[in-house]
Structure 1
Amino acid sequence: MSKPKPKILFFHGSGTNADIFRLQARKLHALLEPHFDLRYLSASVPCAPGPGVLPFFEGCDPYLTWLDDSTAAAERAFWAGGEEIPRLAREARRLGGVVALVGFSQGAKVAMEVARRLETGEGEGEGEGEGEGSSSPSPSPIKMVLSVCGTAPFHGGFVGGGKAGEHVVDPEREVLYRESLKRGVVKAASVHWIAARDPWKAESDKLVGFFDEGTRTVIQARGAHHMPLDDKANEQLAKLVMEAVTR
């Protein structure tokens, strides 16, 4: 019997779903599939189609989002006591052999928080038949996180993220963004694909700060808010993933 491949979890952007993301990430998928078991997770909150989803993905509903980040209060409820992040961390532990996370747009900040909780052991044992405080946190298997056009918790402290000219600091979001950052950075290696024409670029820049400075790689790329389409760009990302998980 052949040895199971290590797993990579993919987190889609808001207003899409796992099936749509598989198509959006098809070039990267094709390069990674020979070496990894690729799993695409779906959010659980219905929403309207995301930017650029229609008309190409007409009829590919349900369109889903990981969280309501329309207001600072709504997003605070997600990070503080929501069930989605604990559910995803439990799923990663249940699957076993997960070595990397790939997140696009809103999915990138979710992947960041899943990686952070796996590293800290926060919530470990909940719903898994283990007693509270029964053991020390298990070492995180996550070796790297790939963020593509990622957005940041609480819009990175900005208001009206995504609209040209509206990257204005919002006092409430800024406080909550900084509180989130103080919870600690992800130690695993990370790669950040930041697109020059992405309306959410300012958030992508802020998300970088949630990852350890010594293990992160930032790629300032051309393009807009979408998965890389160029073959060489995807080859570069696939190579970086391979290098990170084989160290």
Structure 2
Amino acid sequence: MALPRIACFHGGGSKADIYEIQCAQLSNRLSKEFQLVFFEGPYNRDAGPGVLPAFSGYEPYKTWFTTDSTGTELPDGSGYDASGRDGIERVWKLMAENDWAQDEPVGPWVGAMGFSLGTRVVGGLLLDQQRREKGGWEGGEGIRLKFGVCCMGAGKPMESEVGKHFNFGTNIVSMPTLHVHGLKDWVLPLSRQQYETYYDPKTKRLYEVDYHHAMPWVKEEVDQLAQHIRQMYKETL
């Protein structure tokens, strides 16, 4: 039986192969319940925090956002082709293309997980989905996520096509989310700001670890993270 899938998004200045290695222990813990699928940002950049020297030779490093001619970040992740379509639409398409590329049946997409900058992609997917569902609009390539996991994140959710053209009056993600914060992480103040600003108190939960800017790797903490993910998914069934 095909396992439910979680779409995974690396941090800035990293790449899919690196994030897969960083999540190897978590993938192993969840291997009987979920399949983790790793996606890559479209833009080249220098190596992000903590990537070197461990992942020297993995160039080119990637990111999810680029800038306009003035150096200002494009918050919708656009700029990857002439169409100007935003990054969230591109990510939905990448997830759908992963379905088409498989030789065997695949399980449904049920969640999204991101590290650092990748959490903005997670938030953008969830926010886009709930806006479309509220408005009764098609989109998201027919994918319907149930939860998100934001690890050591910072910043607002990636804006979507729908968000650019309609005023929803709120940028709050109300879908179930788990937030992993590192108590020694230099990003911690920004992680807490992200958690407080963009996520609904009724549906978010927090898991703190005594870490720097990294995915959990200590056995007990990886076990706990896996259990949090299992429980959150179970509550959506």
Q: What's the TM-score bracket when you normalise by the shorter of the two chains? A: 0.7 to 0.9
Is residue 152 from structure 1 mapped to residue 150 from structure 2 by the alignment? no
Q: CA deviation at 1:182?
A: 4.9
Q: Normalised by the size of structure 1, how large is the TM-score?
A: 0.75
Q: CA deviation at 1:111?
A: 1.0
Is residue 187 from structure 1 mapped to residue 166 from structure 2 by the alignment? no
Residue 128 of structure 1: aligned partner: none
Partners of 1:120 and 1:137 within 8 A in 2? no
Is residue 216 from structure 1 mapped to residue 216 from structure 2 by the alignment? no
Deviations 1:171-204 (A, max 9, x none): xxxxxxxxx9953322221111111111111111
Residue 206 of structure 1: aligned partner: 193
Partners of 2:8 and 2:38 within 8 A in 1? yes
For residue 38 of structure 1, the aligned residue among 36, 39, 50 is 36
Q: Normalised by the size of structure 2, how large is the TM-score?
A: 0.78
Q: CA deviation at 1:15?
A: 0.7
Deviations 1:97-149 (A, max 9, x none): 11111100000111110121122228xxxxxxxxxx9x744786222111110
Is residue 86 from structure 1 mapped to residue 85 from structure 2 by the alignment? no
Distance 1:115 1:196 in 2: 26
Q: CA deviation at 1:89?
A: 2.3
Q: CA deviation at 1:93?
A: 5.0
Residue 235 of structure 1: aligned partner: 223
Q: CA deviation at 1:56?
A: 1.2
Residue 23 of structure 1: aligned partner: 21
Residue 4 of structure 2: aligned partner: 6
Q: CA deviation at 1:59?
A: 0.8
Distance 2:218 2:42 in 1: 31
Partners of 1:89 and 1:118 within 8 A in 2? no
CA RMSD of aligned residues (A): 2.9
Distance 1:231 1:5 in 2: 23
Partners of 1:109 and 1:207 within 8 A in 2? no
SS of residue matched to 2:123:
helix
Partners of 1:142 and 1:188 within 8 A in 2? no
Distance 2:86 2:185 in 1: 30
Distance 2:177 2:185 in 1: 20
Alignment-mate amino acid for residue 89 of structure 1:
W
Residue 120 of structure 2: aligned partner: 109
Distance 2:169 2:121 in 1: 17
Alignment-mate amino acid for residue 44 of structure 2:
P
